[in-house]
Amino acid sequence: MGSLNSLALAGAVAMVATSAALPTVAHAADLMPPPMVAPPPPPVGGYVGGGLYLRGDIGVGAVGYNDLDIRVNGADPASVAGVSSFQTHKSNTNANFFAGVGVGYQFNNFLRFDVTGEMRGGSITGRDSIAYNFGTPTRQTNSYRGNLTSYVGLLNGYFDLGTWNCLTPFVGAGIGFASNRISDLGDNGIQDFYAGAGGAYSGSGASYGFSDGGSKTSFAWALMAGVAYDVNPNLKLELGYRYLNLGDGPTLAMHGASGALTNPSSSVTFKRIDSHDVKIGMRWMFNDPNCCGPTAMAAPLVRKY
């Protein structure tokens, strides 16, 4: 009987030990819900990739110059014997129209480069006044007018400043060359003669000179700013301003009305020609960027309980 009691007691102890070793069973109400997976963010708006593009531009420029260089027998007219005074006068700016094409590459949202070529056409004018005595005291005013044609090639770089409502302001700069040709340059002179002991006015006359024309290739550079509008994923329209320095024009020998070189021989050079341009243009992108797409949004906050 004692042995049966001992076996019963040993079995009870074993059952208690086994139940203590087993993990506690959790109730269904104690389980955490499965974690929520955040949805992927929407695509970033704007042009993230790079791509080749073609461009075309048209516009008008106000053309001027820094110096009208007049030479008589290769020297400053003021240094010629018999000349008492000489002065050049800048004329009003002249309108030049231009059109150009180019090819470029956009590397990212902010940086792009292109190579452009354009043709410009219009007029250029200048004026000088001189007082001299080559036998008769004379004061003369010469007015110059010619046709200016320029062929310009530039390597341009641009920095886009960000896009808002499909509008992208930008700044840029370019370097290259300009081949400036001046043709049909005429010199219309008005002469006032003075005579007598007191140098009284005694009459007036006219003179005319012309040049055969010529061309010169010079270093050119540009600074520009504007804004682009995304019409669709491939087409962008631009409105911009540009300062363009075209370098020097050719040195042109002047002929008299008879066709012979003027005596004394004179020449005219328009130096440091420049232009303030307003232009409109377009760019055709070969890639398919996400034009005016939605901007990226932060992922929603997932709260755990």
Q: What is the average pLDDT across 260-264?
A: 61
222, 155 Cβ separation under 8 angstroms: no
Q: Which two tokens stand for residue 81?
A: 């014997």
Asked if residue 39 is part of any domain, the answer here is no
Angle (nearest 5°) at CA 151 between 149 and 152:
130
Number of domains making up the chain: 1
Domain assignment of residue 25, yes or no: no
**Mind listing the pLDDT tens digit for each residue in 16-70?**
455 554 444 445 455 566 666 666 655 544 444 458 999 999 999 999 999 999 9
Range of the domain at 155: 51-285
Question: In this structure, how many other beta carbons lie within 10 angstroms of the beta carbon of residue 178?
Answer: 26
Q: Are 118 and 57 in contact (CB under 8 A)?
A: yes
d(CA 274, CA 93): 10
Asked whether residue 28 is domain-assigned, the answer is no
Q: Is residue 301 part of a domain?
A: no
- Measured CA to CA, the distance from residue 171 to residue 240 in angstroms comes to 9
Is 57 within the bounds of a domain?
yes
Poorest-pLDDT segment among 111-120, 148-157, 285-294: 285-294
CB–CB of 254/266 below 8 Å? yes
What pTM, to 2 d.p., does this model score? 0.75
Q: What is the CATH number of the domain that holds 186?
A: 2.40.160.20
| Alpha carbon distance 153, 219 (integer Å) | 10
Would 14 be classed as within a structural domain? Answer: no
**Structure-block tokens of residue 295:** 């901007």
Encode pLDDT of 129-154 as tens digits.
988 888 788 888 989 999 999 999 99
